[in-house]
Structure 1
């Protein structure tokens, strides 16, 4: 893995110098301002910047026909999650992660194929990948700030819905993304869809070859998801209304038309990118759909607003998410007690059941006598209730 040090101010600290986009070291070094990693995996989760004292994870998710590297890289080679963002945090500590998935709706390359997965399949993979990555890194309960471009915003919304729906005890770790999410920045996300002709022109411009007409006559699964009046989009939006108010949300739309071989279009208009919801912040950026997520320098349109949002959220998020995790654990323990009362207590003779608060235990202990299947014998059993990260059950003798 190729890494690069970032000292105080990094390479961006020299007056008048452009951020360096080249790797200068083949080894990993830990210094005061974190570690950089420029070996980015095409799929799943890659930490591109880590800090030992980070209390927040910033996660970037690309859009249609994008990738975790090229989506965030400007024409001059600036990969802003590394070259601009760490320096803009002004001493605040955060990990910066990029997530990759197959968002190809057309590929002329032999080693790549168009995705045939539905959005909910991608969402399940995102939840699993990021949860296990954060668990392995010891950042399981860090607040999350999402930055999503285009389709990536739809994917993250669906992933949060999936994470919120997880209730089974043995899968509860996957609720962590829902519990930990503090804020979302949507860059040109087509919340209500976009005209398929706009996507077709955009993809044609991005391709090195002429895309066959039959491609547009038989749209990919992901492209169908992004169409106006898409049933999938409508379902995601309707359910997201139930949870969105717990998050800080900023929705950004493009103000400049994209020039596609002589045709100028707005790929995702303001109505789709910024559906009016109470408590949500909206603004436009003087950029095209593609430029919304590519910053060639600190003065690039949109970067100052985005970096300021992230900086303020890093300050606010830890206290808020700590409170949510405390409430989540209390709720999990409450559900556990209810399950015991519903499924086990009916089998116990009422006169023999009592509760013991054991000083050395983290949770109350229930003790009783469990009736044997045929009523011939009884067995003494104990149920231990632990926190959401633990296990529970009963022992009999």
Structure 2
């Protein structure tokens, strides 16, 4: 049986995991419960993993007509997980935001899950108690021909989801991204795009690090495969998303060049697949390494690079926190989180000192800057004495 996870939004902040466990009939370790955002009147968001689709459908049906008291009057229950979903937070104690972005044909929860275990929800919070952990979902399905959303629009969606999620007191908080496949392309483009608007530029400034898991920076040979192209037309899938990931795509080159130019100081870690992914269940001749090593390596600075004996689908799934591959990925995230607050403060000060009005003040002996802790106002603008 395949487990199924539901997302519940609009739950009262007073609801506890124990109450949810009782209402859903599942163990508390199959549940996450966190405030949707930092506002005082915010509601909570929960994820609940059921042992089967049948059990999840039954729960959903019952709650539609007679919701349990702990769920509030009108909880919204879905399986799509679009937008940002908070999996774990310590509230005002959080020092870093971690955002996971899935890849092509992926899902904000199941792409990171192995069985009923989802490492971002079930393992990582215990190791990063002062981190708000979120997963971002977008419609990257190649089977949905009704969608016309482009890669630049996916990037814009991510950017504004982050802006809308972060309150005034959180806008200076460092961000670490964990990206699988196309997710890495979208994050790079989002950071490039952020610099084009004063309302979003701060996201670029506070982003400290990115963990890439099999991201095709230079594209994939498989996307250029003529047989795949014929199959795509025959099956009626979104050719535009597939073709955008072709090897040496002009769009990918532009994204990478802009990223190198504007974000060469970021803390990066790269993991790449070394096993072929089974494309057809019966014919092994179609097995393929989706993202070759040469495409997975960004070659920016001296970023750590790690081969994982996994295929393209399994490189972002970990069933056990004692798994060596999980430890390798987790250690890179922990390393970034440890230095992120200081690194982001330093970068912000350097950028501030490059502002023309501040350079003039220093040159002519004007007011001095406050320390970083008080130099930024609640609306993320620099304030002076």
Same fold, judged at TM 0.5 (above): yes
Tell me, yes or no, if structure 1 residue 244 matches structure 2 residue 263: yes
RMSD over equivalenced CA pairs, Å: 3.9
Deviations 1:103-130 (A, max 9, x none): 11214xxxxx554222212212211110
Decide which of 108, 123, 131 is 1:84's aligned counterpart.
123
Decide which of 265, 276, 290 is 1:267's aligned counterpart.
290
Deviations 1:195-240 (A, max 9, x none): 2458899999xxxxx9762536xx5322121111211001111111
CA gap of 1:313–1:203, structure 2 versus 1, over 3 A, is farther
Gaps of 5+ in 2: 1-8, 19-26, 37-43, 48-76, 371-376
Which residue of structure 2 aligns with residue 322 of structure 1?
345
Which residue of structure 2 aligns with residue 372 of structure 1?
none
Which residue of structure 1 aligns with residue 142 of structure 2?
105
Gaps of 5+ in 1: 7-18, 29-34, 108-112, 167-171, 205-209, 339-354, 363-385, 393-397
Deviations 1:48-95 (A, max 9, x none): 111120110011001001121111111x21111110111233xx5111
Which residue of structure 1 aligns with residue 244 of structure 2?
225
- CA distance in 1: counterparts of 2:127 and 2:322, whole angstroms: 12
Decide which of 129, 134, 142 is 2:161's aligned counterpart.
129
Determine if contact 1:59/1:97 at 8 Å carries over to the other structure. yes
Determine if contact 1:193/1:228 at 8 Å carries over to the other structure. yes
- CA distance in 2: counterparts of 1:178 and 1:358, whole angstroms: 27
CA gap of 1:330–1:85, structure 2 versus 1, over 3 A, is same
Secondary structure class of the residue paired with 2:120: helix
Deviations 1:252-284 (A, max 9, x none): 111111123132211111111114333221111
Which residue of structure 1 aligns with residue 314 of structure 2?
291
Which residue of structure 1 aligns with residue 133 of structure 2?
96
Correspondences of 1:167-206 after superposition (within 5 Å): 172-196=198-222
1:358 Cα offset (Å): 9.6
- CA distance in 2: counterparts of 1:322 and 1:244, whole angstroms: 16
Determine if contact 2:107/2:137 at 8 Å carries over to the other structure. yes
- CA distance in 1: counterparts of 2:31 and 2:225, whole angstroms: 35
Which residue of structure 1 aligns with residue 94 of structure 2?
54
- CA distance in 2: counterparts of 1:36 and 1:26, whole angstroms: 6
Deviations 1:146-178 (A, max 9, x none): 100000000000011111233xxxxx2311110
Decide which of 111, 116, 119 is 1:71's aligned counterpart.
111
Determine if contact 1:332/1:387 at 8 Å carries over to the other structure. no
Secondary structure class of the residue paired with 1:58: strand
1:327 Cα offset (Å): 3.4
1:144 Cα offset (Å): 0.7
- CA distance in 1: counterparts of 2:336 and 2:120, whole angstroms: 16
Correspondences of 1:245-394 after superposition (within 5 Å): 245-260=264-279, 261=281, 262-263=283-284, 264-332=287-355, 334=357, 389=380
Correspondences of 1:158-173 after superposition (within 5 Å): 158-166=189-197, 172-173=198-199
Question: Across the two proteins, how many residue pairs are aligned to each other?
Answer: 315
Secondary structure class of the residue paired with 1:159: helix
Which residue of structure 2 aligns with residue 342 of structure 1?
none
TM-score by length of 1: 0.69
Determine if contact 1:45/1:99 at 8 Å carries over to the other structure. yes
TM-score by length of 2: 0.70
Deviations 1:33-52 (A, max 9, x none): xx983278622222111112
- CA distance in 2: counterparts of 1:158 and 1:24, whole angstroms: 30
CA gap of 1:201–1:21, structure 2 versus 1, over 3 A, is farther
Determine if contact 2:172/2:380 at 8 Å carries over to the other structure. no
Tell me, yes or no, if structure 1 residue 215 matches structure 2 residue 236: yes
Determine if contact 1:62/1:150 at 8 Å carries over to the other structure. yes
Determine if contact 2:45/2:85 at 8 Å carries over to the other structure. no
Secondary structure class of the residue paired with 1:310: helix
- CA distance in 2: counterparts of 1:282 and 1:78, whole angstroms: 26
Determine if contact 1:196/1:223 at 8 Å carries over to the other structure. no
Deviations 1:342-362 (A, max 9, x none): xxxxxxxxxxxxx9x899xx9
Secondary structure class of the residue paired with 1:190: coil
Which residue of structure 1 aligns with residue 46 of structure 2?
37
